[in-house]
Chain A
Amino acid sequence: MSIRIYVPSDTTARALGADRIAAALPKLAAEQGVELEIRRNGTRGLYWLEPLLEVETESGRYGFGPVKLRDLDSLLAAKFWLGEGVEHPLALGLVEEIPYLKKQQRLTFARLGITDPLSLDDYQAHNGFKGLRNALALSGQAIVDAVKESGLRGRGGAAFPTGIKWQTVADAPAAQKYIVCNADEGDSGTFADRLVMECDPFMLIEGMTIAGLAVGATQGYIYCRSEYPLAVKNLNAAIETAVANQLLGEDILGSGRSFQLEVRMGAGAYICGEETSLLESLEGKRGLVRAKPPLPALVGLFGQPTVVNNVLSLAAVPFILDQGAQAYADCGMGRSRGTLPFQLAGNVKQGGLVELAFGPSLRELMFDFGGGTFNRRPLRAVQVGGPLGAYLPESQWDTPLDYEEFAKVGAVLGHGGVVMFDDSVDMSEQARFSMEFCVAESCGKCTPCRIGSTRGVEVIDRIRAGQNVDNNLALLADLCDTMLVGSLCAMGGMTPIPVQSAVKHFAEDFRTNAVEEA
């Protein structure tokens, strides 16, 4: 009888050596007369334990990690394939009992790391395509109503109610409408979109198809960044399987409805995560931001009504249509309903994906889950919400994880990325980087962003050099204000957020070289 071992296959697990382990393990085992069947799951998203091997037993899946090639001999000597009761330094017990995982509310990521990403059987055995089957029996308006009732808000960062956006597109008369998935996950510290696409691609396909049924769109595009080659590969494979099984394409499940889906690759431009820039790029143009109005919901891709949603927004939809809007809305606090998949990154001991209902504090997330810093130095600053998000000092770490609560302290939750920095960080250098990043990534259409960011780098350089610090700080504040109110989109409009938060909360870092003037 062969024993089934799961070896993760997402980008991070591979970067940590999972492929080499998957290749070496069965050979080494065979030499000892043990037959192991290797299956590739996605990842549980517990990255400090990757590569995390799992042994399937009748009482559940037992984990061992982080496994390096050199550990395989001792794992085999300990008969790790027995799972339960195995004594080995890397033994973790039942994976689902690991507190980091057990304490989460995985609604969107319910299948993460459990299934083989490209196995349609696995997907359907774990509630896959139930939402679509329900949706096929509903009117478009009923689907839109369900999404409204769920309270789902755009998970890309802007947090606009998804149901309202869908309603606008549904109500717009047009012969052709589109569903566009924004998979240009450029924010540093985020990888939840990647996890959906690499580890559960059918979920995104299902969510987009439901969106198409809801608003009357028959064509969808997934705009995925070129930095994610494995995501593109898995999406294309899953689309092919879905079409072959009549779950996508013409006459879905015999309903007479159709929805076509295509993956398009970005080309390394951060700005294309801005929805109008993304649409320009999909049309084959430079990713220049469009002025709004008109809203993309009315005049979007190729001038037609278009739903543009983030991966996580669309990925939440199958759950809502399967388990019901109320089940989703029951989680969360205030106007932030449901869950947000947070991503712990940077200098963190236990980095990974933490899907939680809105409400716990940032501190709980960073310490109860993250375990503090990786190198044991004191944590000093935390950037939440990507390169356009604020740096939070310790005085703000008790802020609840909620869109409105974060807004109250001048911060953003954004896409849920949490990047932790220890006390060796120089916050004036981080502020400079924010401006430098905007120089590199501005689309160039509006002046505050294009020129303001260049001037911002120069001003911060003078401050860091100790030149006329007070006056230059005043100039920087003025410049930030101009960018904030004068930019066409969030790129220039939010770049000042990390800069201003650094100046406000870490002022001493901007006076390191300041000369006391008489």
Chain B
Amino acid sequence: MVTPESAGWEPSVAQAIIDEYKSKPGALLPILHALQDRFDWIPDGVIPMIAQALQVTRAEVHGVVSFYHHFRTHEPGRHVVEVCRAEACQARGARALEAHAKASLGVDYHQTTADNNITLEPVYCLGNCACGPSVRVGDEIHANVDAAEFDALVDALRTERVEVLG
């Protein structure tokens, strides 16, 4: 169950990312995006490194990380599944879908399944509003997702993991 590649983060890699972006005007968000793209989350340990590079306090960096929903302060499961909760998807059955997602995965939002495969997150609009309910996995958006479709999607993600390890 342990996946060594994602178990930690390397300070030297983080420092290289920070150095790459630190001289941009308003560099903090670009730095945080680059770090999360690389590590899948924002580990606590990078906060003093960013504060040092940008000459701001740790509290300021922490404040920004915690303000934005997109930035995660805990390591996610192998796949992050985002379910759209917004009105246009509600009008097409998103409330039933989110109830099904939580029940079938046995988790609430911001939690990860016991097998560490799926982290469930809410999202407010993916811009796919004419063909909801919408679900995002990685950079892929899925349209017209009902309970059966959701199960198939999750099954595929779990199978994918077996293939990767196999």
Contact = CB atoms under 8 A, between A and B. Distances in A.
B64 A286 contact: yes
A185 interface: yes
B18 interface: no
Give the size category of A's interface with B: 35 or more
Nearest to B130: A351
B26 A186 contact: no
A14 B127 CA distance: 13
A157 to B, nearest CB: 15
A265 B29 contact: yes
A270 B129 contact: no
Contacts of B88: 188-189, 345-346, 417, 419
A104 interface: no
A348 B131 contact: no
Interface string B119-158: 0000111111111101010011111100000000000000
Q: Determine chain B's interface SS by DSSP, over half rule.
A: loop
A14 B134 CA distance: 12
Contact of B32 (A185, A267, A347): A267
Nearest to B121: A268
Contacts of A351: 129-131
Contacts of B70: 226, 266-269
Contacts of B86: 188-189, 387
B43 interface: no
Contacts of A265: 29-30, 33
Interface in B74-122: 86-92
Contact of A383 (B30, B33, B87, B126): B87
Interface residues of B, number: 42
A150 interface: no
Given A284-B64, A433-B87, A191 B29 contact: no
B127 A228 contact: yes
B131 A15 contact: yes
A404 interface: no
Contacts of A374: 92
21 contacts: A11-B128, A12-B130, A16-B144, A186-B124, A186-B125, A189-B129, A191-B128, A227-B123, A227-B126, A267-B70, A343-B129, A345-B129, A346-B90, A346-B129, A352-B130, A387-B124, A419-B129, A420-B91, A430-B87, A433-B90, A443-B67
Given A281-B29, A283-B25, A346-B92, 10 more contacts: A187-B125, A188-B88, A191-B129, A191-B130, A194-B127, A265-B29, A284-B26, A285-B60, A344-B130, A419-B88
